[in-house]
């Protein structure tokens, strides 16, 4: 099918909820993807971090293939060995506790919200403080939790019980705490919000504050988890532990799976019958996530993320010295943002034109998050494309 016909069919049959770039992708391998005309692109933004192991990873393909021949789905009124194995793997890589499995980021956050509300219900506490410029998903309650008005317009009435505080401001959180507050939720690096990194002092103070006030600290690691920032989970940079953590995006190496992880002390809050997800923790999804953990470990991808992240950061900083459109380079590991002095849409489009896929968020922030096994050569190529674009734009 040619590209125009396909796009026309989308127009006719697919709801227009996304701003789509007219690119029809048909295959991928590692850091590269190919479109329907056979053109190759360097993918430095693989699916909002979903394809964190790179495209068509052989270990994920093998896990899918092997599991598909055995059993795809086991309903949650029975047991399956892969779900237990994966829960144990997540816990062994994070903090002592238990896991609830679901299928997406919003659902993982929804689980965290429900757990927090159930936890507070005996004392009529339900309010959750979240941050300005945060992003927690597109369901009604996760949109309510999200600290950006643009995602809320047209969807009133939203569930109540969410209040927002400015990011990196501990005093502002203190002011928002009321007799109804049950939890504080944040991303340690705001992804959609423009790669805003939480300060170490702020996170330490927030952990202390939550402990002192008896509030749950919920860390949304949907985008930052699975090695992306140079640690398995981003909170591990901060020497603190959350009470609840949410995962999705690259957890399944590209296959959909989400998880709500809670400290042992709070992990039995949602008892039998209080929460569920039909597809949650299927043998297929869990096999993929187990293969993802195994790949991160055996291919030393966290080491590569730190090394290549530092290299990419250095290269971007060198560009910043040359092109005065660049205001700041920030982030951790391979989750980097370049804040520009002007909107980045044309930069994004020119990069695409030259075969480099990146993202532009919050108008002025280029978001660059290559797969964890990215090579120096690939980074050099991406940087040379970016530089050519800056030169052409005369910035």
Ligand X SMILES: *Cc1c(COP(=O)(O)O)cnc(C)c1O
Positions touching ligand X (CB under 6 A) are 48, 104-106, 109, 135-137, 187, 191, 220, 222-223, 248-249
- Output the smallest distance, CB 48 to ligand X, in A: 6
- Output the smallest distance, CB 185 to ligand X, in A: 10
Please state, as a whole number, how many other Cβ atoms lie within 10 Å of the Cβ of residue 125.
21
Burial class (CB in 10 A: 0-12, 13-18, 19+), 10: middle
What single-letter DSSP state applies at residue 84? H
Q: Which of 43, 95, 167, 220 is catalytic?
A: 220
- Tally the C-alpha atoms within 13 A of residue 365's C-alpha that lie toward its C-beta: 19
d(CA 146, CA 135): 5
- Output the smallest distance, CB 85 to ligand X, in A: 23
Rank residues 248 and 312 by Cβ distance to ligand X and give the closer one. Answer: 248
- Output the smallest distance, CB 258 to ligand X, in A: 7
Instruction: Name the nearest CA neighbour of 361 among 228, 138, 189, 192.
Output: 192
Rank residues 32 and 332 by Cβ distance to ligand X and give the closer one. Answer: 332
* 325 Cβ contact list (under 8 Å, min separation 6): 340, 341, 342, 390, 393, 395
249 is catalytic: yes
Structure token pair of residue 327: 């205001």
135 is catalytic: yes
- Output the smallest distance, CB 322 to ligand X, in A: 31
Helix, strand, coil share (%) of the chain residues, nearest 5? 40, 20, 40
- Output the smallest distance, CB 16 to ligand X, in A: 18
At residue 346, the 3 state secondary structure works out as helix
d(CA 110, CA 277): 11
Measured in whole angstroms, the distance separating CA 119 from the mean position of its chain's CA atoms is 25
Rg (Cα) of the chain, in Å, rounded?
Answer: 21
Rank residues 137 and 333 by Cβ distance to ligand X and give the closer one. Answer: 137
Q: Which of 44, 95, 100, 135 is catalytic?
A: 135
Rank residues 97 and 105 by Cβ distance to ligand X and give the closer one. Answer: 105
Structure token pair of residue 144: 């309510």
Q: Which residue is nearest to ligand X (CB)?
A: 105
Rank residues 125 and 146 by Cβ distance to ligand X and give the closer one. Answer: 146
Please state, as a whole number, how many other Cβ atoms lie within 10 Å of the Cβ of residue 23.
14
Q: Which of 125, 231, 249, 263 is catalytic?
A: 249
Rank residues 137 and 283 by Cβ distance to ligand X and give the closer one. Answer: 137
Whether 242 contacts 230, CB under 8 Å: no
Rank residues 193 and 230 by Cβ distance to ligand X and give the closer one. Answer: 193
96 is catalytic: no
Tell me phi and psi for residue 93, to 5 degrees: -95, 0
- Output the smallest distance, CB 251 to ligand X, in A: 10
Please state, as a whole number, how many other Cβ atoms lie within 10 Å of the Cβ of residue 20.
10
Active-site residue list: 135, 220, 249
């Amino acid at each position: 099918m040619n590209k125009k016909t396909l796009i026309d069919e989308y127009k006719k049959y697919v709801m227009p909820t996304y701003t789509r770039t007219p690119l029809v992708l048909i295959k991928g391998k590692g850091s590269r993807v190919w479109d329907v005309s056979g053109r190759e692109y360097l993918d430095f933004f693989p699916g909002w971090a979903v394809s964190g192991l790179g495209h068509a990873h052989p270990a994920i393909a093998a896990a899918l293939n092997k599991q598909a021949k055995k059993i795809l789905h086991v309903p949650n009124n029975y047991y399956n060995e892969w779900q237990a194995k994966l829960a144990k793997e997540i816990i062994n890589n994070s903090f002592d506790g238990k896991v609830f499995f679901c299928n997406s980021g919003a659902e993982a956050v929804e689980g965290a919200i429900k757990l927090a509300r159930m936890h507070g219900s005996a004392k009529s506490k339900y309010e959750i403080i979240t941050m300005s410029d945060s992003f927690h998903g597109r369901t009604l309650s996760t949109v309510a939790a999200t600290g950006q008005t643009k995602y809320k317009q047209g969807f009133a009435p939203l569930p109540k019980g969410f209040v927002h505080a400015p990011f990196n401001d501990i005093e502002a959180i203190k002011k928002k705490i009321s007799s109804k507050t049950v939890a504080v939720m944040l991303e340690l690096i705001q992804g959609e919000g423009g790669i805003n990194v939480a300060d170490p002092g702020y996170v330490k103070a927030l952990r202390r504050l939550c402990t002192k006030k008896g509030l749950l600290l919920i860390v949304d690691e949907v985008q930052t988890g699975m090695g992306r920032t140079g640690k398995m989970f981003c909170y591990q940079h901060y020497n603190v532990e959350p009470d609840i953590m949410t995962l999705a995006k690259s957890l399944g190496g590209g296959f959909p799976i989400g998880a709500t992880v809670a400290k042992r002390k709070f992990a039995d809050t949602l008892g039998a019958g209080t929460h569920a997800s039909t597809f949650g923790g299927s043998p297929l999804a869990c096999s993929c996530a187990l293969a993802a953990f195994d790949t991160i470990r055996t291919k030393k991808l966290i080491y590569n993320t730190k090394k290549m992240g530092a290299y990419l950061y250095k290269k971007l900083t060198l560009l910043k010295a040359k092109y005065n459109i660049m205001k700041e380079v920030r982030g951790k590991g391979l989750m980097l943002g370049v804040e520009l002095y002007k909107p980045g849409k044309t930069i994004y489009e020119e990069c695409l034109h030259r075969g480099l896929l990146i993202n532009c968020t919050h108008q002025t922030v280029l978001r660059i998050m290559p797969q964890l096994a990215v090579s120096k050569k690939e980074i050099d190529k991406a940087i040379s494309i970016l530089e050519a674009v800056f030169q052409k734009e005369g910035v």
